[in-house]
């Protein structure tokens, strides 16, 4: 009797190779590390070959593992093509999207509800983080679509908008300007500090937080000024443009990896459309 290799075992095997560890792979295929380890053990039993050489936490492919990897990719590609061909317009996830907090507060509810209404069978995984972290997750194929910020000259920009200063106008008269910023890395933080230093305006970081809602609360309480964009910060008062130096523009970008499922393609399309309508 021929040996049948379940596609979920092959998918987990490929995920471990692509992500470099059991931990990262478990996040990608949505199983625990212990379950993932059992899957690989089962796959090794089926092919009667060791697929990895284990050195502590480091996993290195054996010769048979390298051979199986190539076939696994081909099998999974054909499998996914077959599913897409048979179930046209039937989107059964998971679809994985990541976005920065600004977009999450403004767009996430509408985007997910629209996608869910069109494709109720799809499973959606959403991650909120900084643009740099999201790009790393995209490179590791932990996410399918990401929505973040970039420089105004980015060729992939969907929308470009100016950064603005927000906060109580009286704070601009202080000898040292109190500043509210998101923790590094943050494009708005870097732009605000660089602009103030270039204009020789003394400042101090009065509030530093990883959370956008905390930053907004600090600005609303009159503790500090901050730099953001009007696209996502319409509930705060902008400071008059000639009071503080002009800030650069920022671009909204949507990035995807190169092997999207039909469901992820549709989510990326909806995301771009929502950004263009801002």
Q: What is the pLDDT of residues 111-132, one digit of tens each?
A: 777 777 777 777 788 888 888 8
Which of 44-48, 103-107, 169-173, 248-252 shows the lowest per-residue confidence on average (mean pLDDT)? 103-107
Q: Domain spanning 95-156+252-276: which superfamily? A: Periplasmic binding protein-like II (3.40.190.10)
Pair of tokens at residue 263: 């469901």
| 18 three-state secondary structure | helix
**How far apart (Å, rounded) are the C-alpha atoms in residues 43 and 49?**
9
Comparison of pLDDT for 268 and 234, the residue scoring more:
268
Of the pLDDT bands very low, low, confident and very high (cuts 50, 70, 90), residue 1 is low
Most confident of 181-185, 200-204, 236-240: 200-204
Q: Which CATH number fits domain 7-86: 1.10.10.10, 1.20.1440.230, 1.20.1440.130, 1.10.260.40?
A: 1.10.10.10
CB 256 within 8 A of CB 128: no
Which one-letter DSSP state was computed for residue 137? H
**How far apart (Å, rounded) are the C-alpha atoms in residues 100 and 121?**
26
Q: What pTM value is reported for the model?
A: 0.60
Which H or E run includes 67? helix 63-86
Per-domain residue ranges of the chain? 7-86, 95-156+252-276, 159-249
Of the pLDDT bands very low, low, confident and very high (cuts 50, 70, 90), residue 21 is confident
Is 3.30.70.1150 the CATH classification of the domain at 159-249?
no
Strand-pair category, 145-151 with 249-256: antiparallel
Q: What is the DSSP string of 71-121?
A: HHHHHHHHHHHHHHHHTTT-----EEEEE-HHHIIIIIHHHHHHHHHH-TT
| 254 three-state secondary structure | strand
Whether 2 has a pLDDT exceeding 80, the answer reads no
**Per-residue pLDDT, 175:** 92
Whether 198 has a pLDDT exceeding 70, the answer reads yes
What mean pLDDT do residues 37-48 have? 91
Nearest to 99 by CA among 237, 274, 220, 266: 274
Q: What is the DSSP string of 180-203?
A: EEEPSS-HHHHHHHHHHHHTT--E
Q: What are phi and psi of 166, to 5 degrees?
A: -130, 145
Q: What is the pLDDT of residues 268-278, one digit of tens each?
A: 888 888 888 76
**Per-residue pLDDT, 78:** 80
What is the average pLDDT score of the chain? 84
What mean pLDDT do residues 256-267 have? 80
Query: Is 159-249 the same fold as 95-156+252-276?
Result: yes
Dihedral sign from CA coordinates of 12, 36, 8, 5: positive
Whether 236 has a pLDDT exceeding 80, the answer reads no
Q: What are phi and psi of 165, to 5 degrees?
A: -90, 140
Burial class (CB in 10 A: 0-12, 13-18, 19+), 142: buried
């Amino acid at each position: 009797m021929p040996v049948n290799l379940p596609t979920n075992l092959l998918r987990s095997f490929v995920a471990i190779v692509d992500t470099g560890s059991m931990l990262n792979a478990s996040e990608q295929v949505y199983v625990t590390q212990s379950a993932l380890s059992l899957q690989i053990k089962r796959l090794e039993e089926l092919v009667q070959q060791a697929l990895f050489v284990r050195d502590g936490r480091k996993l290195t492919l054996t010769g048979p593992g390298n051979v199986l990897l190539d076939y696994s990719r081909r099998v999974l590609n054909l499998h996914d093509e077959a599913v897409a061909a048979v179930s046209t317009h039937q989107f059964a996830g998971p679809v994985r999207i990541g976005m920065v907090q600004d977009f999450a507060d403004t767009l996430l509810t509408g985007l997910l509800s629209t996608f869910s209404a069109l494709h109720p069978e799809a499973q959606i995984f959403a991650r909120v983080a900084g643009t740099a972290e999201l790009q790393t997750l995209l490179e590791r194929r932990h996410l399918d679509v990401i929505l973040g910020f970039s420089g105004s000259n980015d060729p992939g920009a969907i929308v470009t908008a100016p950064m603005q200063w927000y906060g109580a106008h009286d704070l601009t008269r202080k000898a040292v300007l109190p500043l509210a910023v998101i923790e590094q890395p943050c494009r708005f933080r870097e732009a605000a500090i660089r602009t103030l230093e270039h204009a020789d305006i003394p400042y101090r970081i009065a509030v530093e937080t990883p959370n956008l809602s905390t930053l907004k609360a600090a600005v609303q309480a009159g503790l500090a000024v901050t730099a953001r964009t009007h696209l996502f910060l319409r509930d705060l008062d902008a400071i008059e443009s000639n009071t503080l130096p002009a800030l650069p523009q920022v671009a909204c970008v949507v990035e995807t990896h190169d092997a999207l499922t039909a469901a992820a393609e549709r989510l990326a399309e909806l995301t771009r459309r929502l950004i263009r309508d801002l």
